[in-house]
Amino acid sequence: MSQTSRPTVLSQLLQVPVLVAALGYLVDMYDLFLFSVVRVPSLKELGVSDDQLLPEGITLLNMQMAGMLIGGVLWGVLGDKRGRLSVLFGSIIMYSLANIANGFVTNLGMYAVLRFIAGVGLAGELGAGITLVTEVLPKEIRGYGTTLVATLGVLGAILAYFVADLFAWRISYFVGGGLGLMLLVLRFNVFESGMFQHLKDKAVSRGDFLSIFTNGKRLTKYMMSILVGLPIWFVVGILITFSPEFAAAKGIAGIEAGKAVMLAFTGQVFGDIFSGLFSQYLKSRKQVIGLFIVLSMAMMGFYLLLPVSESFSFYMLCAFLGFCNGYWTLFITIAAELFGTNLRATVATTVPNFVRGATIPLASLFVYLKGDYGVIQAGLILGIATAAIALLSLAFLEETFKKDMDYLEE
């Protein structure tokens, strides 16, 4: 007599679409943060003087983020019109080839163009992956699935540090591009989200990005979802990326941006795991996100104001800052859960990329405030402001933990 058993949580989490989304995010994060790791050596080899490393680094970072802003809209709309898998693998091809090309740059102009193209490609993977995971897993365990994606993704940023430490910066770009192209072999074993397949048979508008802005309630949800994530990318894009400059302002010499990035993302691995599991325990996204925003605000103050004088203590502060950034995937998950199937990929892809793109005005504000207040005070002003805005925005969002995902935006 045969007995039909229900699939276990582990077997559902290890199904191919979830694993491909997680591995894709690992490569995405590797390529995304490799520039932060190799910024100084790559710019020095291209002939940039020490006093221009910060402004030229900000310019290249802004080009990458501008690409992600445009790519976020492009891939998001395609995700709802053509399917989650089209975006998942299309974006992997684009950023993999762009990052291989980054290994051949010979001047700043070429570097800037390729960082922009890479940014466009990097914009699509996470949103498509999170959308796919939230739609193929039952609502009771989808938080575990997004935690798995987040954990492997952050490990990609750590991998970028170790690869760059072992090899020259050009080889590090080749490795990232190669990893992405290798991932494409799994393309034929991944099935599309059932919710999207059913949606294709219905006469309903899909991926209408402008419809977000023609409905007041929808626009409010969308804007609040973006603002909740601001502290994460202020920490990553400003405090960690330019950690050597913050350390120098505290009188600490010899801080390596690559090591700071690696330690911050090591901390974020633990933060992502803790926030995901704690969210499942509390059965709440909002409570855990609120807790992490408060922790992030406090840690920004410690990072900027504690009178540390040795590199070990400074690096530990970077790791704790990373832990407090551990609500990144929860924040994207709640954005995906807030919108219907016909607009979900558009939202889940554009929201994180608009947050990433916020690095551009934040970096400009930082440079402006630095002239009047200095590096430390400028960072403190922006840090408090972004955390306060995030907490206020979170208050306007609904709890989505138990929300059924099979619905449409009318």
274 pLDDT tier (thresholds 50, 70, 90): very high
1 pLDDT tier (thresholds 50, 70, 90): very low
If you ran DSSP here, which 8-state letter would residue 221 be given?
Answer: H
Say what percent of the chain tops pLDDT 90.
41
Mean pLDDT over each residue of the chain, to the nearest integer:
87
- Burial tier of 290 (Cβ tally within 10 Å: 0-12, 13-18, 19+): middle
Residue spans per domain, the chain: 15-187+209-395
pLDDT value, residue 133: 85
pLDDT value, residue 2: 45
Choose which CATH entry (2.10.210.10, 1.10.3470.10, 1.20.140.10, 1.20.1250.20) describes domain 15-187+209-395: 1.20.1250.20
Q: Which of 390, 366, 126, 365 is nearest to 232 (CA)?
A: 390
SS3 251: coil
118-170 pLDDT, tens digit each: 999 988 888 888 888 888 888 888 888 888 887 888 788 888 889 998 999 99
Highest averaged pLDDT of the listed ranges 239-243, 268-272, 286-290, 339-343:
286-290
Half-sphere exposure of 399 (CA within 13 A, CB side): 12
Q: Six-digit token pair at 302?
A: 């410690």
pLDDT value, residue 86: 81
Q: Does residue 272 register a pLDDT over 50?
A: yes
Q: How many whole angstroms separate alpha carbon 49 and alpha carbon 26?
A: 33
* pLDDT (average), residues 54-76: 88
296-335 pLDDT, tens digit each: 999 999 999 999 889 999 999 999 999 999 998 889 889 8
Provide the b/e sequence for 272-287 (b: ≥16 CB within 10 Å).
bbbbbebbbeeebbbe
Helices 286-305, 311-324: axis angle to 10 degrees equals 160
200 pLDDT tier (thresholds 50, 70, 90): low
333-389 pLDDT, tens digit each: 898 889 988 888 889 889 988 888 888 889 889 989 988 899 999 999 999 999 999
pTM for this predicted structure? 0.82
Q: How many whole angstroms separate alpha carbon 64 and alpha carbon 122?
A: 9
pLDDT value, residue 190: 65
